Amino acid sequence: MEKDLLVTLEESFSHFSKGHKLIASYVLEHFDKSAFMTASKLGQTVGVSESTVVRFAIELGFDGYPEFQKALQDLMRNKLTSFQRMDVTSDQLGEDDILDKVLSLDIDRIRGTLNECSKKDFYEAVDRIVNAHTIYVIGNRSSSALASFTSYYLNLIFPYVKLVHSSSTSEMFEQILRVDSKDVVIGFSFPRYSKQTLNALKYAHDNGAGVIAFTDSKHSPLVKYADNVLIAQSDMASFVDSLVAPLSLINALIVAVSMSKKEKISDNFKRLEYIWEKYDVYEKSESDEDN
């Protein structure tokens, strides 16, 4: 749906049946909690049947309740403050063992990412990277860790890789000033989306560069400026963003890129091993010393 789901509920409220008004009222007041409720649980909470909840979702234009719930979760992730996310965590985890629950949720996110990520976009992104003159990598806030990881490994493969540092908007644009159609820009942003990253991708897009967006949904604002969108699930478990699925997708991208540049990478690593050995970069293990 193009319009904000909460705005749609408010505008349509007067036309709803009595049962649908009960659902809409609860969702508007508790969208953070209702986003993780099953249709049965939501119906039980407001005092209507599960089938009424399903019909409510369909009346709003969704194919069914799962699609409605997904839209609500997408909306929720970009609206909640860190404090509100802590409350959601308590509801999600309940009394379960935190270690088991959080790791299980991350496993589910990787599975979901495998189902959602377009293979066409993935392999087109690989080709863009391999054929680019300069590769720019940008990510702000928690996504900066993803950008740093990606640029580190791409630097081992390609001669011109720039990690864009963005302590200020002016500094960011100074670093991507010369981006053009020969280049590719890889941007990372997950809810709550970074305006700086969005502006960088828009600038790159307007200057003819290839744009690859790592984000969480086809409704993400980054999609508008991306040639290839790589979707990875990043649902939060507390105020901490889960980067497990995005990182797994990055691993796959780097491996795919490296497989297409095997000979070059082999030469690079031979040189690196020589340098690491000559300048004593790594601590030697006991087995190495024995040899």
Task: Provide the token pair at 222.
Answer: 């980054």
Return the residue matching tokens 């408010």: 10
Q: What is the DSSP string of 201-270?
A: HHHHHHTT-EEEEEES-TTSGGGGG-SEEEE-----SSSS---HHHHHHHHHHHHHHHHHTHHHHHHHHH
* pLDDT value for 2: 42
Give dist(CA 225, CA 242) in Å, integer. Answer: 24
- Ordered domains of the chain (ranges, CATH): 5-94 (1.10.10.10), 117-276 (3.40.50.10490)
DSSP SS3 for 276 = helix
- Per-residue confidence in pLDDT tens, the chain, 291 aa: 445 788 889 889 999 999 999 999 999 888 778 888 899 999 999 999 999 999 999 999 999 999 898 888 777 766 655 545 555 556 655 666 778 878 888 898 899 899 989 999 999 999 999 999 999 999 998 899 999 999 999 998 899 999 998 777 888 999 999 999 999 999 999 887 899 999 999 999 999 999 999 999 888 899 999 999 999 988 654 555 678 999 999 999 999 998 887 777 777 778 778 787 877 777 766 655 555
* pLDDT value for 83: 47
Q: What are phi and psi of 170, to 5 degrees?
A: -65, -40
The CA–CA distances, whole Å, from 60 to 7, 173, 199 equal: 12, 41, 32
